[in-house]
Chain A
Amino acid sequence: MENIKTQDPKIIAFVCNWCTYTGADLAGTSRLKYQPNIRMIKLPCTGRIDPVFIIKAFEKGADGVLVSGCHPGDCHYNAGNFHARRRWMMFHKLLDYMGIDENRLHFSWVSASEGKKFVDVVNAFTNKVKTQGPFEKYAKINKEFVINE
């Protein structure tokens, strides 16, 4: 369990299967290199992302959360990314209230043909989170108050 803990910062990404996951595959096929802090969770669509996932990730110790899906208009499921965008518009207004710095969360569009963009997004975000330092507030709450499931 100690692995990721030695590689600060810890970044969790929620990505859709059709665009960003495939874009990340393309980055691999093209042998592009990027920073290794990211751990990706594949979902069918960004429309599947519940804002609670993001809070949960911070609570479990993530220092940054990346959300990425198909460009507007390109959704494999027609409109899932529009729902995700709308939720994001609401959710990011709450971040400050919840004590989460906006810089710890990044929302982006990466298509299946954008391997290079995927790499740029991951590297830029990793660097940004690095400058923020570790995010322990939520993880502490989890440890102190929540009975371990």
Chain B
Amino acid sequence: MKIGVFICHCGENIGRTVDCARVSKAAGFFPGVVHSVDYKYMCSDPGQNLIKQAIKDFKLDGVVVGSCSPHMHEKTFRKAVADAGVNPFLCEIANLREHVSWVHEDIDVATDKAIDLVRFAVEKVKRNVPLTTIKVPVTKRTLVIGGGISGIQAALDVANAGYEVVLVEKEPSIGGHMSQLSETFPTLDCSQCILTPRMVEVYQHPKIKLLTYSEVEKVEGFIGNFKVTIRKKARYVDDTKCTGCGDCMQKCPIKKKALSEFDEQLTTRSAIYVPFPQAVPNIPVIDTSVCTYFKTGKCSMCKKVCGRDAIFFEQEDQLLTEEIGAIIMATGYKLYSIDKKPEGSEIKGYGEYGYGKYKDVIDGLQFERIASASGPTSGEFQRPSDGKTPKKIVFIQCVGSRDESKGFSYCSKICCMYTAKHAMLYKHKVHDGEAYVFYMDIRSGGKMYEEFVRRAIEEDGVKYIRGRVSRIYEEDGKYIVKGEDTLAGVPITIDADMVVLATAMVAQPDASKLAQTVGIPYDKYGYFVEVHPKLRPVESSSGGIFLAGACHSPRDIPDSVAMASAAAAKAMVLFGSDMLEREPTIALVNENLCAGCFYCKKVCAYNAIEIKQIKDKQGNLIKEVAFVNSGLCQGCGTCNATCPSKSIELIGYTDEQIYAEISALM
């Protein structure tokens, strides 16, 4: 085998800490290497041409590139090698940037390590075999998980392109947090007015199958060929009969017992309910935790008053299976609830602010409900405790955000903007009211965002105080806010009528569990992780699973919508061809060696191992051996490690290759 080694400087990224010339010189002496060079930017056009030319000049049939992580440019170099007529799987990458130059400082030590990594890549490539990619058919259907604005946008984009969509929402209605908002920054347009038409569009779209009050239970398969099990929870209402008249809700005797989720616990709702009047679909569900029928079996008022006979107490959860090609995660966020710490959490919380203790200390979403025309006060500013108009409101930013000692180290990104909006909305309605904002920094990056904050300060007279609040307590019907003005360098006390906390955005509490079900990585906060922070921000590392909106990181509506459209575009790229190319690094059985114990079959997570019968000419069974279904095998190699006779091998990661790597490193 004639191997060429190409060492990339990556500008200065590798070159600064690794002596690339020394690496390429050393590599030139490795057995099998006939050509070895270094170059400033190997991934650039001239760099790739350098590889292609060398393949021709030196008749290379194996290539090692010492560059950035294979996760970055393996595809680039494999394609370049293929263009020059060498099988792309005869190209290996030595990771000299992420694993060497960026993590070590001493040039000699880093260069030595780089030489080792190149040597082991050379030994590996010697044992690589030419492979061709596997082609599998693509199911052109998309599953969107989450029916907030991100999920709605993604579903509509994909469906409008002509592909079928299954939209799953765990709540009884789609709409998400956006449906709870009053007005949106920086234009102050009504949130419901721009959202509800899109919700209806989803409901009526011929290509969208909407499954509300449903949750994804199981995901099997892989890119282009997922099989998804969805639990459609029992509503106890027959959705084919219900007209959404609302008689059941009016007559339900449990009017004041359940707190409204939609109104953020500020109002009550009946046991049979729709979350809000504009809900889509407008079909109620029964909350069995409060319903008298389900607790004692005695009441069935809703059933009696229903003119359509749609109440169906015996309804059970249904399990549906859907064939899916691409999945878009759009599960959104929750607000960090500072009175109820998640169990086992180390977060210390903000007990000193009295949230949960004082009725008039509320969070951002509760303020949205109070400010909203569809809210408990029909948009009149009245404080929750006594319904009086607050004349002095204190807004506190960064409650839980940017505070590693008590909350999370990240910035929740939207609070600076919505706090400015809250203060502004309040000043527009209560002209003689005073609004104070305690802030750390104002982060208002975005189109017309900074101007919006300036407007709140300069035109609407909102008073911004740079500093933190140490304590809030009640005294004579007022909330005494003790804080510090760090610009003036003085302690400050405000006797407020109401306090609004801009609490941190956090991932959904069950996000990590869902990530495990779907099979995508998540970070320590529970946010889903993208493949590459800059160049592949909407893709998860699992093929065919894309990310949209605040399930990825805190973000506002425009960003979420943009990300949802991007995720939709990625799904459509997948549907652009009928067959999908897959990595050919899958398991292969040596039928002569295989004894037919089928341990491999037991450990395979994909049911990719089948039983093949070997027969003689007369058709008599000689033996049964394992057979790998190449469409199902994902190439994890668990079978390879399990096989007692080593008669099943993972191509590209054979025992021989790994032993060669171990030997080369030592």
Q: Please list the residues of chain A having a beta carbon within 8 angstroms of any beta carbon in chain B.
A: 3-4, 6-7, 10, 12, 18-19, 21-22, 24-25, 27-29, 31-34, 36, 39-45, 47-50, 52-53, 56-57, 60-62, 70, 73-80, 83, 87, 111-114, 119, 149
Contacts and interface: CB of A to CB of B under 8 A. Distances in A.
B664 to A, nearest CB: 9
Interface string B575-601: 000000000010000000000000000
Contacts of A53: 658-659, 662
Interface stretch (B95-103, B137-145, B303-311): B95-103
B666 A47 contact: no
Given A24-B99, A25-B71, A83 B112 contact: no
A6 B112 contact: yes
Interface of B: 69-71, 95, 97-99, 102-106, 109-110, 112-113, 115-117, 120, 515-516, 519, 521-524, 529, 533, 541-542, 585, 603, 605-606, 634-638, 640-642, 650, 653, 655, 658-659, 661-663, 665-666
A82 to B, nearest CB: 9
B650 A44 contact: yes
A41 B99 CA distance: 12
Contact of A83 (B519, B638, B665): B638
A70 B515 CA distance: 13
A48 B99 contact: no
A43 to B, nearest CB: 6
Nearest to B542: A76
B624 to A, nearest CB: 23
Contact of A48 (B109, B636, B661): B636
B243 to A, nearest CB: 44
Contacts of A7: 109, 112
Most A CB contacts (10 A, CB to CB) among B529, B658, B662 go to B662
A83 B603 contact: yes
B515 A33 contact: no
Q: Which of A10, A29, A49, A60 has the most CB of B within 10 A?
A: A29
25 contacts: A7-B112, A21-B71, A24-B98, A25-B99, A28-B103, A29-B98, A40-B99, A41-B658, A41-B662, A42-B70, A47-B637, A47-B641, A48-B650, A48-B653, A49-B641, A52-B655, A56-B662, A61-B666, A74-B516, A76-B541, A83-B638, A83-B641, A83-B642, A111-B523, A119-B103
Contact of B104 (A21, A36, A50, A56): A36
Contact of A25 (B98, B104, B542): B98
Contact of B519 (A27, A60, A78): A78
Nearest to A49: B641
Nearest to A54: B662
B523 A113 contact: yes
Contacts, number: 154
Contacts of A34: 103-104
Given A18-B521, A113-B521, A47 B112 contact: no
Contact of A32 (B103, B634, B663): B103
Contact of B529 (A3, A40, A87, A112): A112
A41 to B, nearest CB: 5
Contacts of B636: 44-45, 47-48, 76-77, 80
Contacts of B585: 44
A80 B519 CA distance: 12
A36 B113 contact: yes
Contacts of A73: 516
Given A39-B665, A45-B636, A83-B638, A113 B658 contact: no
B444 to A, nearest CB: 27
B638 A47 contact: yes
Given A25-B71, A44-B636, A3 B658 contact: no
Given A4-B665, A28-B98, A57-B662, A48 B103 contact: no
Contact of B521 (A19, A29, A77): A19
Contacts of B665: 4, 12, 39, 41, 60
A125 B666 CA distance: 18
Nearest to A119: B103
A73 B360 CA distance: 42
Contact of B653 (A32, A43, A119, A149): A43
A77 B666 contact: no
Given A45-B638, A83-B603, A62 B666 contact: yes
A76 B103 contact: no
Given A28-B103, A44-B650, A22 B541 contact: yes
Nearest to A77: B636
